[in-house]
């Protein structure tokens, strides 16, 4: 595989024209990197934890976590936006997973492991965006005074301000393999477009780090989105990056099982409220009264209906709800919205009937969980051991103490590894002059 570099003139022009991009509402690049690093700290001990603990794979994981947004910058290809959009969603990612499984036998070679890490990073990106958009962004829309025009960018500034600079990993992109997957879905694309998109994302990270060091930018973010700025790193704020990380690591566990032909671990990744929790709000006009279910696989929107979801009180009286499959076909997140106030001090049970169909023609098993609107938590229905984590997850290790911030950034390509593009080039000082420009970001899919 030939190693290619982004065209210098294109790269400069792409950065300068990022301001022309449309508004978006999703995680920014700093958040995507942070979420994958956080998810690594939360994996239970086991095969997957051991696999991703290999520092040689961190480079691939982080680049995969960034990759889906590359085409949203002004990449010089007519299919760039469609390529980026496809990479966010499970059909493309599943095609990549199947290609890995068909191409490499186990035990995996170094090259196979690199692809698996990149794939898991891509899956973290797509799932993270869905969780952030459907839960945290929606709460900002309800609680903050400003429209969401600059939400992802300003939240990236807040994250870097609170958590420290985000590592800018050197590029590692398996462009020839990704092109095979685009070909399989009938989308023409090029290696150079892939590389150019990743270069833009890398520069965007440098810009975010620099912008977050300007106090006026942080003040602007806090004034524009006061609730979101105050709650961005709070585990108690649904859809925040720490919550995204908790969902992502469970999604990794599901995808790890699929990589090993073990079938689907369970149909549901995450619920709000958690199974067996208390003090759920009762006011149906409050977004916090919503019930959110994040499924393990992307759903077929044409097969989803209100009949699959039932909310009952402790006397088995049904509560009317409306449902929303947040981003429509392929998406994982369903909101159940009570259409009348809930009753105080009451235990409620949510049931998802078996038979929901995924976009992969899988038929999901049923699922139930319970919660209380009172102060006493009910017993949970599900005993998930290392799966559910209703307690606040541990903080990531302090990089100043561990010396492991970001894992390896060395060139891990060798004779047995993927001959993929690996480049190291420090950001130029002139990038600091572009701080006022909006950064590359995902265009938001219309709500279903």
Reported as a single tens digit per residue, the pLDDT across 390-439 is 444 444 444 344 333 333 333 333 334 454 544 323 333 433 344 334 44
Residue 93 has pLDDT above 90, yes or no: yes
Q: How confident is the model at residue 74 (pLDDT cuts 50, 70, 90)?
A: confident
Which of the two residues, 268 and 432, has the higher pLDDT score?
268
Q: Compute CA distances 295 → 42, 139, 240, 409, whole Å.
A: 20, 20, 18, 34
Per-domain residue ranges for the chain?
Answer: 8-247+421-434, 275-372
Collapsed DSSP state (helix, strand, coil) of residue 264: coil
Average confidence score pLDDT of the chain: 85
**pLDDT digits over 107-158, tens only?**
999 999 999 999 999 999 999 999 999 999 999 999 999 999 999 999 999 9
Is CATH 2.60.40.420 the classification given to domain 275-372?
A: no
Taking residue 114's Cβ as centre, other Cβ atoms within 10 Å add up to 27
When pLDDT is cut at 50, 70 and 90, the band that residue 298 belongs to is: very high
DSSP tag of 426: P
pLDDT tens-digit series, residues 269-297: 999 999 999 999 999 999 999 999 999 99
| Residue 336 to residue 445: CA distance in whole angstroms | 20
Does 192 or 406 have the greater pLDDT score? Answer: 192
Terminal-to-terminal C-alpha distance of the chain: 41
- Cut 0.85: pTM above it: yes
Contact between residue 30 and residue 166 where contact means Cβ atoms under 8 Å apart: yes
| Amino acid 404: pLDDT | 34
């Amino acid at each position: 595989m030939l190693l290619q570099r982004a065209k210098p003139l294109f790269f400069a022009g792409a950065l300068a024209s990022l301001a022309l991009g449309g508004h978006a509402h999703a995680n920014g690049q700093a958040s995507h990197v942070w979420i994958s690093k956080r998810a690594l700290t939360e994996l239970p001990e086991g095969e997957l934890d051991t696999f991703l603990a290999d520092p040689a794979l961190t480079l691939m994981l982080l680049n995969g976590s960034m990759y889906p947004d590359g085409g949203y910058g002004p990449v010089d290809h007519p299919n760039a936006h469609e390529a980026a959009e496809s990479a966010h969603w499970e059909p493309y990612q599943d095609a990549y997973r199947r290609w890995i499984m068909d191409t490499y036998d186990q035990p995996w070679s170094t090259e196979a492991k690199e692809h698996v890490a990149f794939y898991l990073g891509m899956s973290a990106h797509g799932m993270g965006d869905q969780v952030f958009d459907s839960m945290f962004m929606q709460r900002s829309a309800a609680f903050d005074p400003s429209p969401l025009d600059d939400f992802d960018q300003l939240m990236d500034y807040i994250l870097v301000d609170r958590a420290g600079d985000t590592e800018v990993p050197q590029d590692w992109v398996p462009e020839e393999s990704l092109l095979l997957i685009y070909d399989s879905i009938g989308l023409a694309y090029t290696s150079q477009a892939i590389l150019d998109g990743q270069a833009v994302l890398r520069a965007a990270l440098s810009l975010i780090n620099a912008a977050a060091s300007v106090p006026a930018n942080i003040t602007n973010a806090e004034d524009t989105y006061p609730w979101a700025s105050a709650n961005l790193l709070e585990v108690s704020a649904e859809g925040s990056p720490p919550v995204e990380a908790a969902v992502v690591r469970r999604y990794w566990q599901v995808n790890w099982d699929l990589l090993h032909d073990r079938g689907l671990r369970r149909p549901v990744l995450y619920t709000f409220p958690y199974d067996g929790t208390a003090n759920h709000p009762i006011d149906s006009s409050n977004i916090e009264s919503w019930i959110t279910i994040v499924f393990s696989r992307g759903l077929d929107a044409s097969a989803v209906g209100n009949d699959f979801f039932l909310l009952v009180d402790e006397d088995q009286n049904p509560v009317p709800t409306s449902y929303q499959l947040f981003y429509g076909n392929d998406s994982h997140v369903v909101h159940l919205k009570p259409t009348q106030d809930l009753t105080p001090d009451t235990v409620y049970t949510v049931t998802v009937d078996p038979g929901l169909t995924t976009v992969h023609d899988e038929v999901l098993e049923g699922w139930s969980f319970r919660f209380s609107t009172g102060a006493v938590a009910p017993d949970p229905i599900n005993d998930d051991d290392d799966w559910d984590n209703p307690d606040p997850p541990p903080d990531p290790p302090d990089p100043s103490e561990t010396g492991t911030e970001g894992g390896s950034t060395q060139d891990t390509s060798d004779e047995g590894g993927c001959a993929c593009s690996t480049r190291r080039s420090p950001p130029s000082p002139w990038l600091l002059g572009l701080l006022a420009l909006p950064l590359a970001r995902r265009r938001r899919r219309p709500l279903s």
